[in-house]
Amino acid sequence: MTRQTFSNPRHVLITGATSGIGAALAQAYAEPGRLLSLTGRDGTRLAAVAESCRKAGAEVVAATLDVCDRERLTRWIEEVHRQRPLDLLIANAGISAGTGGDGETEEQVRRIFAVNGDGVVNSVLPAIDLMRRQGHGQIALMSSLAAFRGFPGAPAYCASKAMVRVWGEALRGVLAPDGIGVSVICPGYIDTPMTRVNRFPMPLLMSSERAARICKRGLARNRARIAFPFPTYFAAWLLGALPPGLTDPLLRRLPAKE
């Protein structure tokens, strides 16, 4: 797959496209001549994002889906691929919770792993099969800077995003001979409905629109890891690299996520 193809995908599929980075990415890729396949759980918000993208000139197919519904999601991905071969899949759908309030319940933990883990797998595997047959394609997996170190305030979220990051980085080497690019996206604090419930300072908070532009630029260059902003990325990387005996006392004092 050529760099030109990476920079100008004709068919982009985005999961979790109803708000936050997912909606901003849909807007960033909306232009004449491009097909956007968008999915999310909130039909009303999804319809609004789809209409906005159509006004920008893009052709849009939208479906209200839960990425945990493996069979239905697979059928939909195969269906939109028949309309136009899939060039770029952005597995963006994800949820968050933490130990604030009543703590991280069993229900929360299982739901986070289901959406952030199984949901990503359910999105990526069908796309791999289709892209292998056509001999090209690109896959982006939405991880987080929280993937570099487990934070006591959000254990399940950190663990799920670590799984996504490591799996994506490993897939890059596996799929390169098939002409498929793989990038892992690791944002810091982004102004989205997910982060607006936080009751603690979020350093270098960034708008979802700016984050989408950074993601799009990195994907056009087929970057292996798109991690930003750099100061937060470096801090997260350093916390993961240092021995837990040094970092645990500090992390225990951090506020818990709601």
Residue 100 confidence class, pLDDT cut points 50, 70, 90 = low
52 occurs within a structural domain:
yes
Please determine, for residue 112, whether its predicted confidence score (pLDDT) is greater than 90: yes
pLDDT at 257: 62
Is the pLDDT at 1 greater than 50? The verdict is no
**CA–CA separation, 173 and 176 (whole Å):** 5
**Domain boundaries, position 140:** 3-251
CATH number of the structural domain spanning residue 136: 3.40.50.720
- What is the reported pLDDT for 258? 64
Residue 146 has a pLDDT of 95
For residue 256, being part of any structural domain is answered with no
> Does residue 182 lie in a domain region?
yes
The answer to whether residue 230 scores a pLDDT higher than 60 is yes
- Looking at the structure of the chain, the number of domains it has is 1
Residue at 258 is within a domain:
no
What is the C-alpha separation between 222 and 138, in angstroms, rounded? 8
Average pLDDT for 36-50: 97
- Label residue 2 by pLDDT band (50, 70, 90): very low
pLDDT at 52 over 50: yes
**pLDDT band at 3, cuts 50/70/90?**
very low
Better-scored residue on pLDDT, 216 or 5: 216
Average pLDDT over the chain, rounded to whole?
93
Give the residue-averaged pLDDT of 75-95: 97
3-state SS class at 116: helix
Mean pLDDT of 239-250: 94
CB 99 within 8 A of CB 155: yes
- 94, 66 Cβ separation under 8 angstroms: no
Pairing state of beta strands 180-187 and 137-142?
parallel
Catalytic-residue membership of 189: no
Q: Is the pLDDT at 144 greater than 80, yes or no?
A: yes
Residue at 210 is within a domain:
yes
Least confident of 3-12, 40-49, 83-92, 211-220: 3-12
In a domain, 183, yes or no: yes
pLDDT at 242 over 70: yes
Query: Average pLDDT of 216-230?
Result: 98
Give Dmax over CA atoms of the chain in angstroms: 54
Task: Report the distance separating Cα 233 and Cα 227, nearest Å.
Answer: 6
d(CA 28, CA 9): 12
d(C-alpha 138, C-alpha 218), whole Å: 12
**Does residue 149 have a pLDDT over 60?**
yes
- Residue 175 CB coordination number (10 Å): 18
